[in-house]
Structure 1
């Protein structure tokens, strides 16, 4: 049975889409059959993965791949389409450039479902028929995963505290919180300490009887990923005796990371533990070498590589010298017998996502034993 992992933070701009794409690709490279789901009406994951970078290419995709996006597959459950015109194939997946990676495309109309889901969340006691709205996403994704032998489902969620996102998260087995080391994500972690346990409490009414439209257990947070920070090399790290010294996060970012760790350990983790929504700290320590609970990994700012990655629909760690037409000097140069340049950044990205993917897989494996 597939493990469903959602990436969520109601603070936008924390690279959820980029992380889903890169992490999904890395899971696929490790031999897993992976489905990435674009549950953000902005559809950035769909555009990135399939190379749909303008209006015409989007129109052609939706014309040629009718009823293979998230909204079209769910709409009949919400009676938003004529019953005489059922979806051609509600469980079809779209292939990507990686043979083990598939996508359920997004659709801007997906946001239209939120009103009905919100109504279902508040009317369940008087209108039991609306229960299916709450579990529609879970039922669809579990069905697709089973039919296509999917091992891991990664969901790119929108940055909002909506009823739709509540149902998506509570349909998950696990979730990860991407953050940027700044004041706004510090606030977001603080806020999630209240939002997520409340989501679990409010949705528990749908798990009372044996006909629950959602998983019995609450999803567990695996940890948070730090994104988009800049690094520097200390003066001493350029010396021959310190060639293996890792590059450091700049002071402004490291200060905010410390604050995020503090509020996470003081508020978010205890709140989630009380709601049975937290992976065990010992399982984290046995799986993750990057940092103490619950800092899963750090992804530095690879801004110069992102446009090339997006243009080619390839993850950063798959880029070659020819992909960016990089000159020899930009591609790789040496100082004090140490390699520098774009080649080194690509290798660093590969190492980061490889470690992140392996850590998550090991943690889930331990949790399931």
Structure 2
């Protein structure tokens, strides 16, 4: 049975979509059959994965695929009359990518239209069948689509909001990961999630059960958090010969300070609250799977911003980029000091190592 992993933080700008794409690709490259679901109405994951860089190309994709996307796939359950006939006839269609083990269920800006009906259902007694099935619609659909396509792992890119739709998506998951940036706003977000997530678990209990319209009986478990977009100290070509260029790169102090604060509030407030609801993997399992760093710090991903535009243009993850992809030449591509390589080639290799370790840790924990 496929495992569903959601990436969620109600604070935006934490590279959630980029992480879903790169983690999904790595898991697929390690032999897992992976389905990414674009549950964010902004459809950034769809554009990144399929190389759709403007509205017209996105529209053409929908027309060619007969509108088989997340909205049109779920719309018949919510009785939207304008859903395409093709979607009704082939509701479990997914789109292949250039990685043979990686697939995507495309997003749709209209996905947010389902939220009103889901919100109404969540505030009901939970005993009205037509409303109850709205709450479990995403869970039922994803489990079926995964089974029919032989999917091992589903990764969901959620929108940055505390919506009713996100509530149901989150509680349909087996696991979740929280991406953060080391800054004040993500510190606030972790503090807020300490209240939001346990409340979500409590409020959804009446919709859990054994039927296909119900949500899973167990709560989703946090695998950890991923630190994104931090800057590091780097070695310049003018550095002195006495500088230790073999030492690991370190996070800049301002970012390290915020990471320390986030670590503190996560372990003193969020983790205890999640433990009360059985919403977190055991620390022993985490430490066996992630052999470095602090508890529940799943991965630290530095700012690879210079590579992102090339990744988007080629619909390839950073670690698959080649010298030709970016037209990188000379010292920009590679240079050496004291026998150690630097430059874009080195950054690509570092990205490969980081995401490889992340994917391996996830596989061990699920």
- For Structure 1 versus Structure 2, the TM-score category normalised by the shorter chain is over 0.9
What does residue 346 of structure 2 align with?
344
Q: Which runs of 4+ in 1 moved over 6 A?
A: none
For 2:84 and 2:246, locate their aligned partners in 1 and report how far apart those are by CA, in whole Å: 65
**Aligned partners of 1:208 and 1:151: how far apart in 2?**
23
Counterpart contact for 2:226–2:297, Cα < 8 Å: yes
Aligned partners of 2:241, 2:141: CA distance in 1, in Å? Answer: 56
* Residue 269 of structure 1: aligned partner: 271
Matched, 1:19 2:19: yes
SS of 1:271's equivalent in the other structure is: helix
Q: Is the 2:46–2:52 contact (alpha carbons within 8 Å) kept by the matching residues of 1?
A: yes
The farther-off stretch of 117-126 and 194-203 is 117-126
Change (3 A) 1:239 1:266: farther
What is aligned with 2:49?
Answer: 49
1:367 maps to what in 2?
none
**Cα distance per residue 1:173-198 (max 9 Å; x no partner):** 00000000000000000000000000
C-alpha spacing 1:60/1:83, structure 2 compared with 1 (3 Å): closer
| TM-score (ref. length: structure 1) | 0.95
What is the DSSP-based 3-state SS (H/G/I as helix, E as strand, rest coil) of the residue aligned with 1:248? coil
What does 1:164-243 correspond to in 2, within 5 Å? 164-207=165-208, 213-233=214-234, 242-243=244-245
Matched, 1:124 2:125: yes
The offset of 1:136, in angstroms, is: 0.4
TM-score of the superposition, structure 2-length normalised?
0.96
Q: Contact 1:35/1:103 (CA < 8 Å) preserved in 2?
A: yes
Which of 271, 280, 283 is the aligned partner of 1:281?
A: 283
Hey, what does 1:163 align to over in structure 2? Answer: 164
Query: How far apart, in 2, do the equivalents of 1:127 and 1:142 lie?
Result: 23
Superposition deviation, residue 229 in structure 1:
0.5
1:261-313 Cα deviation digits (max 9, x unpaired): 00000100000000110110000000002312110000000011000000000
The Cα shift of 1:127 comes to 2.7
- Unaligned residue ranges in structure 1 (runs of 5+): 365-369
CA distance in 2, matches of 1:213, 1:67: 27
1:149 partner SS: coil
Provide the aligned C-alpha RMSD in A. 1.7
Separation in 2, partners of 1:308, 1:154: 23
3-state DSSP of counterpart to 2:89: coil
Alpha-carbon separation, structure 2, partners of 1:238 and 1:17? 39
User: Displacement of 1:212 after TM fit?
Assistant: 5.8
Answer yes or no: is the 8 Å Cα contact 1:67–1:87 preserved in 2: no
What residue is the counterpart of 1:313 in the other structure? 315
The more displaced of 58-67 and 223-232 is 58-67
Task: Tell me whether 1:64 sits opposite 2:48 in the alignment.
Answer: no
Task: State the shift of 1:43 in Å.
Answer: 0.1
Q: Which stretch shifts more, 177-186 or 119-128?
A: 119-128
Contact 2:35 2:151 in 1 (8 A): yes
Q: Aligned partners of 2:242 and 2:287: how far apart in 1?
A: 32
